[in-house]
């Protein structure tokens, strides 16, 4: 019995010794302190033309209590969508040799950012005979200052009746977004024309069919007229005062309220029917949200 008690006491003492050794190792040997990332500026101002990866690392440093300088090991973990105007949040991460992780967030602001833009390549018009075989997305293009060409990502929302329509105006909405989560959405109309008499009409031709402006800034619609279009051929007449004077403009744009508004250009040639071309003006709010 005495030997059993001594054996139990010995086992207990050994267990305590093992625990103490393990505890000392955990506290004294293993690293539980994560590295620290610092930056010289809490808010970083960039240009969209900067080398983004290099510019985002500006002023970033990292140190660890055991591994020392880890600046070269810092990586960009994520970049948020825009959270306010042209501001995003960048998250940085770094690991030390013990796989302890350090993180840092800071705000990045673009000094010259502009939202993505959808443009219309030609007049939003199609004959009833061609409508069923027309890819209306091909009427559009899109560009972005961050991502470049976004044309392949443009989505068009429209009523199915547009593929087998009667002459008239059909509402559609085009939308595209960039990698920063900024969305450009433009609602406009596709005009389906009657097959008869189209060959003799002379439509005002424009340099732009979707135009962007901001609240309070009026555009000159006639400044976008470049000539007359007949049977798909454009005859330039921007210096022909007679023709230019015969084109009338009917604008419904409210420059005080953000939205998308139509502008109609009408022209009646000698002995021909009146032809109408539509432009759509996107009035955007100013940076202060007004």
pLDDT band at 289 (very low <50, low <70, confident <90, very high): very low
If one counts the domains in the chain, the total is: 2
Within a domain: 126: yes
Residues 75-111: tens digit of each pLDDT = 999 999 998 778 999 999 999 988 899 999 999 999 9
Residue 238 has pLDDT above 60, yes or no: yes
User: In the predicted model, is pLDDT for residue 218 greater than 90?
Assistant: yes
**256 occurs within a structural domain:** yes
Residue 175 CA to residue 112 CA, distance in Å, equals 22
pTM: 0.78
Give the pLDDT of residue 290. Answer: 45
The CA-atom distances, in angstroms, between 174 and each of 9, 133, 282 are 81, 19, 13
* Residues 69 and 206 grouped into a single domain: no
Of 287, 237, 288, nearest to 265 by C-alpha is 237
DSSP string, 50-98: S-HHHHHTTTEEEEETTTEE-GGG-EEEEEPPPSBTTEEEEEEEEE-TT
Within 8 A by CB and 6+ apart from 17, the residues are none
Q: What distance separates the 2 farthest-apart alpha carbons in the chain? A: 128
Of 110, 131, 146, the residue that ends a domain is 110
* Contact partners, residue 28, CB within 8 Å, separation at least 6: none
In a domain? residue 214: yes
Q: Taking the mean position of all CA atoms in its chain, how far away is CA 12? A: 68
141: CATH: 2.60.40.10
Q: Which residue has the higher pLDDT, 284 or 273?
A: 284
In which domain, by residue range, is 223 found? 117-284
Q: What is the pLDDT of residues 14-56, one digit of tens each?
A: 656 555 555 555 555 565 789 999 998 888 999 999 988 889 9
| Neighbouring residues of 122: CB distance < 8 A, sequence distance ≥ 6 | 139, 209
């Amino acid at each position: 019995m005495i030997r059993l008690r001594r054996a139990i006491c010995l086992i207990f003492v050994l267990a305590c010794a093992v625990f103490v050794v393990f505890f000392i190792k955990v506290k004294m040997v293993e690293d539980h302190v994560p590295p620290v990332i610092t930056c010289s500026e809490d808010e970083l101002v960039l240009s969209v033309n900067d080398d983004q990866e290099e510019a985002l690392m500006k002023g970033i440093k990292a140190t660890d209590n055991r591994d020392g300088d880890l600046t070269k090991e810092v990586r960009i973990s994520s970049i948020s969508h825009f959270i306010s105007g042209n501001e995003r949040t960048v998250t940085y991460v770094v690991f030390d040799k013990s796989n302890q992780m350090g993180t840092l967030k800071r705000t990045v602001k673009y000094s010259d950012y502009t939202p993505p833009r959808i443009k219309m390549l030609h007049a939003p018009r199609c004959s009833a005979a061609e409508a069923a075989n027309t890819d209306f997305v091909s009427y559009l293009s899109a560009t972005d200052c961050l991502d470049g060409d976004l044309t392949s990502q443009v989505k068009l929302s429209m009523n199915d009746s547009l593929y087998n329509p009667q002459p008239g105006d059909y509402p559609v909405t085009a939308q595209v977004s960039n990698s920063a989560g900024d969305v450009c959405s433009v609602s406009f109309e596709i005009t389906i024309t009657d097959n008869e008499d189209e060959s003799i009409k002379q439509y005002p031709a424009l340099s732009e069919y979707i135009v962007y402006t901001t609240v309070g800034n009026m555009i000159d619609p006639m400044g976008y007229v470049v000539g007359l279009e007949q049977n798909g051929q454009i005859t330039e007449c921007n210096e022909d005062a007679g023709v230019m004077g015969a084109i009338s403009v009917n604008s419904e744009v409210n420059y005080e309220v953000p939205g998308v508004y139509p502008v109609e250009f009408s022209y009646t040639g000698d002995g021909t029917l009146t032809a109408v071309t539509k432009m759509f003006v996107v009035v955007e709010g100013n940076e202060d949200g007004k």
